[in-house]
Amino acid sequence: MKHSARVTAQLLSWFFVAIAFGLFVARNVPEQAAAKELSQTTYIILIVAVIGISALLWYLAMRKMKVENVEKIFAIGIALALIDFLQRFFGGLLPDPWWARGIIGAAVGISFYHLVMWLFSAMQSSWRMVRKLLPISNVLMIVLVSTAGAMVGVGMQPWAMAIILFAAACYDAWAVWHSGTMQKMAKYFMARRVIPGIAVAKPQKEKFALLGGGDILFIVAMSASFWRVQPVMMYISAAWMSLAVLFLFGISEKKKFYPALPFIFGGMMMAYLTGVFLYALGVLA
C-alpha cells in the first residue's frame, strides 16, 4: 500500500535496522543454537507445515474465535519464541536439571505473555498511547523476528531455504490476490491495534503503516542460510531482497495491497544469479 514519503522513510528505516540486526545475530549464533539434528528435507516439511497450520489457525481465528483469544494466541507465540531464544543463547547459564530449566522457562514465558497482553491493552486505550508505544513494539518485534529468522537460517542450506521461501511466496500471492485473507487479516489487526510486525503511525490519522514480521523473517532466514556456506552471499542476498522491498514500495499504489514475498523471492533469485556471475569471474570460490 502506498504511504507518504515521511511514513515510508520511517518504515524503511525500521526495516533496515531489522535486517541489520538479523544479519548480526546470524554471524553470532552459537554452534549449538543452530538446528542441525534434522535432515534438510525433514526441516523443510516441518517449516512448511508450521506455515500452513499457522495460516489455517489465523483464518479460523478471524471467523470463529473471540478477539481476546486471538490476542492471547499471538502473545503466547511471542512468549514461546522468547523462551526458545533465551534457551539457545543463554542455556549454559541455566541450571542443569530439566525441571529447573522448565520452571525458569515457564516463569519467563508467563511474565512475557502478561507484558505483551498489557502492551495490547494499553495500545487500545487511546491513539496517543499507540504513538508512544509503537517504538517499543517495533524493537520487540525486531529482536524476536530477526533472531528467529537468523536461528532458522543458519541451520539450513540455501537450496532448502529457497524452497520454503518459494512455497511461502506462492501462498502469500494466493492470500492477497485470490482469497483476500491477508487484507482482511491486516485490517483486523489494525482495527484492534495488534501489530504483527513493524509499524509507523500516520500523521493526523488514527492509522499506521505496517510491514509484516513474516517478510523480515524470510529475508533474514534466507540470507542467514548462506553464512556457513559462503558468507559474502549472505550480504549479497540481503541486499537484493531489500532492494526488492524498495521496488515494491516504489510501484505500490494507494488503497491496493501487494504480496511482498513474491518480490522478495525475485530478489533472492537475483542474488543467486549474482553469485553465479561472481563465481564465474573467480571472485567467489
pLDDT tens-place string over residues 199-233: 888 776 677 788 888 899 999 999 999 988 888 99
Amino acid at 204: Q
Split at pLDDT 50, 70, 90, the class of 87 is low
Instruction: Provide CB contacts within 8 A for 168, sequence distance 6+.
Output: 51, 214, 218, 261
d(CA 24, CA 27): 5
The yes-or-no verdict on residue 239 having pLDDT over 70 is yes
pTM above 0.85, yes or no: no
Place of cell 495491497: 257
How large is the average pLDDT for residues 110-131? 72
Specify the range with the lowest mean pLDDT, choosing from 42-51, 112-121, 195-204, 248-257: 42-51
Split at pLDDT 50, 70, 90, the class of 5 is confident
Q: Write the CA distances from 279 to 231, 267, 273, 275, 283, integer angstroms.
A: 13, 18, 10, 6, 6
Please give the residue that has the higher pLDDT: either 253 or 101.
253
Here the contacts of 83-90 (C-beta below 8 Å, separation 24 or greater) are 83/108, 83/109, 84/148, 84/151, 85/144, 85/147, 85/148, 85/151, 88/29, 88/30, 88/32, 88/33, 88/151, 89/30, 89/33
The yes-or-no verdict on residue 69 having pLDDT over 70 is no
The reported pLDDT for the residue numbered 43 is 61
Split at pLDDT 50, 70, 90, the class of 3 is confident
d(CA 270, CA 233): 11
**DSSP character at residue 94:** S
Split at pLDDT 50, 70, 90, the class of 111 is confident
The yes-or-no verdict on residue 25 having pLDDT over 70 is yes
How large is the average pLDDT for residues 94-115? 67
The reported pLDDT for the residue numbered 243 is 95
The yes-or-no verdict on residue 145 having pLDDT over 80 is yes
Please give the residue that has the higher pLDDT: either 256 or 79.
256
pLDDT tens-place string over residues 43-67: 666 666 666 656 665 565 555 555 5
The yes-or-no verdict on residue 17 having pLDDT over 80 is yes
pLDDT tens-place string over residues 158-186: 988 898 899 889 888 888 888 777 777 77
Split at pLDDT 50, 70, 90, the class of 83 is low
